[in-house]
Structure formats: structure tokens, C-alpha cells
Homo-oligomer: A and B are copies of this chain.
Amino acid sequence: MTWNEQKVGAFVPGPRAVLSPLAEGALSGLDFAVKDLFDIAGVPTGYGNPDWARTHPPAIATAPIVQSLLLAGARMVGKTKTVELAYGLTGENVWQGTPLNPAAPDRFPGGSSCGSAAAVAAGLVDFALGSDTGGSVRIPASYCGLFGLRPSHGAISLAGARPLAPSLDTPGWFARSAGLLERIGAVLLPDGGGLSIAVGGGPLLRVEEAWINAQPAVAEALRPALARLEAHFGRALSVSLVPEGLGTLFEHFRCVQAEEAWVSLGEWVEATRPQFGPGISERFIAAKAMDPARAAAGRAFREVMRRRVHPLLAGGALLVQPTSPCPAPVLNAPLLQQDAVRAATIGVGAIAGFSGAPEVTLPVATVEGAPVGLSLVTAPGQDRALLATARIAADIVGMAA
């Protein structure tokens, strides 16, 4: 099936922001799109909300991450829709229209980087930039059947990107192959310099809580891919990383994110009283009311998670887990169900999110015809090794690398 651009609705309305390559390079000949929270000089950054666009002047400078891609030879062909203020996981945008999920048209595309995922999945671009705080690259990648990377926190500059929760925010990108995902990483990621884990070296650690958290059909669908990886990497060892339960992890994550979101955006929300679509206003009300003690408890738990995860992954072990506990919710799913999915989804994503570790998702299976991803997580700073491992893993699982 081919998709026409109008039907996909991945790009923000209005004239396309197009930027030519600034040099020949590793990405020459490739087109990409950029989530509309990264600045492009002279263009308004919409951040998914009409009141944001209305109250902000056009950007003065282009985000360095975009500049790096242009310098590597890629061409930017447009800005893509985002969930309002990047504060949601379904990909819904009631102001601009929710992008189509080309892999499962009756379902949400996932967000907040919904337009970027839709554009790549529909073949409108070769790759696209998104951002990820609680899953905003990983989840739409999983939902749309794409490869996606959330890099190590802090590995790549977020200058010129609107903040949500800076201690959790990262950029990220989508591609239809692990090989291209890695080529983009070669352009954007720091060199790594000294020590690096062996590519495909460490054992697989099957995070118990993440697998128990997944819908049985998802765990079942991912099993053949896991078995193929095990045949190559050795039997996955089961490890309990969150004995408190993913519900507890979600709650801590939510509180840290909410407190920071209010610091980042509260002043504007109070001054502007913007109109918000469903779910977004509730999240900002909760963010404003966040008890500092709860956020502090969340930060303390983040340290606990780091002390657990970092030593375990230091030697090159890879966490392996379902990227999301379920396929994309159907478009008419009740809000309450969406909230439950959100909690379970952020819970598993917070394993990497709280520990600052990079996570790559591979589109290895489908459930009821809708894609579900398998994630690999490794030690912070080992993004290049993770991408190389993902390429090998894709090959092992029998996907186009």
C-alpha cells in the first residue's frame, strides 16, 4: 500500500519547512522530517498547540542536531506533528489531527513524536527526528513497526528543542532499518572515545517485571524473536530489576516528570491559559499540584534504579524487554483505558528512562495485525555499541538490516 501525504497527516499544517543539505556526507540522498519541537531558524515552533504557536515568535536559530544532519548530507523536508507540549503517548492531536498509523490504520500512531513516526512508516521520508521523555520515540516506533532509538540521556544536545522534563528528555530518531538507525547514530552520537562494551558481547537479561507487565499476546508474539537472539547471544537470564513493581516505578517517574514539566512550562501555562486537548490539561493540573515531597521521593527512587541498572550493564549485558506492554490502542479506546495503557507503558519505559540508559526498539512482531517492538537497553554511553548490536539483532531475527 502506498500512502498519500494528506491521508497520513504526518506534517504540521501550512507550508513545509524544507532545508537543503549543507554538504555531501554520510546521509547524502536521504530525506528526513523533524518533530515540531525542534527549532528551525525563521520558522515558528508549534509544539503541537495552537496557543504555543500564537504566543511565540519564529525561531532564531536551527537546532544543532538538525544542523548536524544537514551537514551530513541529509535534506529536511518538513516538520511533523507532536502531541501538545510532548505530554502524551497516544499521538493524538485534536488541533492538527492525529497522524495515521500506517501500520495499523485503526489505531493510534503513538506519541508524542507521532508525526515523525507516521512519516517514516508511510515512507514519506527516510528517517525522522523525535524526542523521548517517557517513551515518545520508543512507543510510536513500537506502534508503527519502526526501529527507534532513545539515546543515553545527555549524549546529544537538546539545544533548540522545547523542554518538557529536562532530566528525562532526550532526542531520538526513527528509521525503517537498523542499518540506517545506526548510520544516523554515527553522525549524531559522540565518539565514545575510551572504553566501550563489546558489540553483542554481554548476556541478555530478561527483565521479569517488563515481561509480566506485557499482555500475554505480546509476550507470546515476541518470543520467537527472543529465541533467535538467545540462539546467538546465549540464553537470556531472568532478572528482577523492579521488585517494587512497575506501578511504583511509573508513579515515581510520573512525579519527577510532572514537577519538571511545571518548571519548564508552568509560567507559560499560567500566563497564556492555553486550550488543551483531552488529557493534556489534566496532566498540567496535576503537574501544578505536584507535592514536592513526592517528586523528591521519585528522584530518590531514580537513584536506586541507577545503582541497580548501571553496575549490571557495565560489562556489556543487554536488557531485553517488550517496548510497550500492548500494541497501539484503537482510535476509539476509552480515556480510562488509555490511562491504564499509559501507566503500564511508562512503567516499562522508565527502566531505561530513569537510569539514563539508551534503548533501541526493533519491530519484530505483530499482535492482531498491529506491530509490537522488542527493546534492547545497554549501559549509558554505549549507544554506538547498542546500535551495532541492534543491527546484528535485526539480522538474526531475519529482518532487513
Give the interface of A toward B (CB within 8 A). 201-203, 205, 208, 234-235, 237-241, 243-244, 304, 307-308, 310-317, 379
**A152 → chain B closest CB, angstroms:** 16
Which among A208, A240, A244, A316 has the highest number of chain B CB atoms within 10 Å? A240
Could you tell me the distance between the alpha carbons of A243 and B234 in the complex, rounded to whole angstroms? 11
Could you tell me the distance between the alpha carbons of A316 and B313 in the complex, rounded to whole angstroms? 10
Partner of A311, one of B201, B243, B307: B201
A208: chain B residues within 8 A (beta carbon): 238
Contact B243 A240 (CB under 8 A): no
Could you tell me the distance between the alpha carbons of A201 and B379 in the complex, rounded to whole angstroms? 17
Contact B316 A311 (CB under 8 A): yes
Could you tell me the distance between the alpha carbons of A121 and B208 in the complex, rounded to whole angstroms? 42
A310: chain B residues within 8 A (beta carbon): 315
Contact B237 A307 (CB under 8 A): no
A202: chain B residues within 8 A (beta carbon): 307, 311
Q: What would 13 more interface pairs be, CB under 8 Å, given A205-B312, A239-B240, A314-B315?
A: A201-B311, A203-B308, A203-B312, A234-B308, A235-B304, A237-B239, A237-B243, A237-B312, A238-B243, A311-B317, A314-B314, A314-B316, A315-B379
Could you tell me the distance between the alpha carbons of A241 and B202 in the complex, rounded to whole angstroms? 13
**A229 → chain B closest CB, angstroms:** 14
Nearest-neighbor residue (CB-CB) of A204 within chain B: B308
- With contact pairs A234-B304, A304-B234 given, residues A311 and B203 touching in the complex (Cβ less than 8 Å): yes
Nearest-neighbor residue (CB-CB) of A198 within chain B: B311
Could you tell me the distance between the alpha carbons of A304 and B204 in the complex, rounded to whole angstroms? 12
Contact A238 B237 (CB under 8 A): no
Nearest-neighbor residue (CB-CB) of A317 within chain B: B311
Contact B311 A315 (CB under 8 A): yes
Contact B241 A240 (CB under 8 A): no
Nearest-neighbor residue (CB-CB) of A243 within chain B: B235
**A307 → chain B closest CB, angstroms:** 6
Could you tell me the distance between the alpha carbons of A234 and B312 in the complex, rounded to whole angstroms? 14
A311: chain B residues within 8 A (beta carbon): 201-203, 314-317
Could you tell me the distance between the alpha carbons of A237 and B307 in the complex, rounded to whole angstroms? 11
Nearest-neighbor residue (CB-CB) of A311 within chain B: B315
CB<8 Å pairs between A and B, sample of 7: A203-B307, A234-B304, A234-B307, A237-B241, A310-B315, A311-B317, A314-B315
What 7 pairs across the A-B complex have the smallest Cβ distances?
Answer: A314-B315, A311-B315, A202-B311, A238-B240, A239-B239, A311-B317, A311-B316
Could you tell me the distance between the alpha carbons of A243 and B238 in the complex, rounded to whole angstroms? 8
Nearest-neighbor residue (CB-CB) of A240 within chain B: B238
Could you tell me the distance between the alpha carbons of A202 and B307 in the complex, rounded to whole angstroms? 7
Could you tell me the distance between the alpha carbons of A307 and B237 in the complex, rounded to whole angstroms? 11
Nearest-neighbor residue (CB-CB) of A206 within chain B: B240
Could you tell me the distance between the alpha carbons of A3 and B24 in the complex, rounded to whole angstroms? 85
A241: chain B residues within 8 A (beta carbon): 237
Nearest-neighbor residue (CB-CB) of A242 within chain B: B237
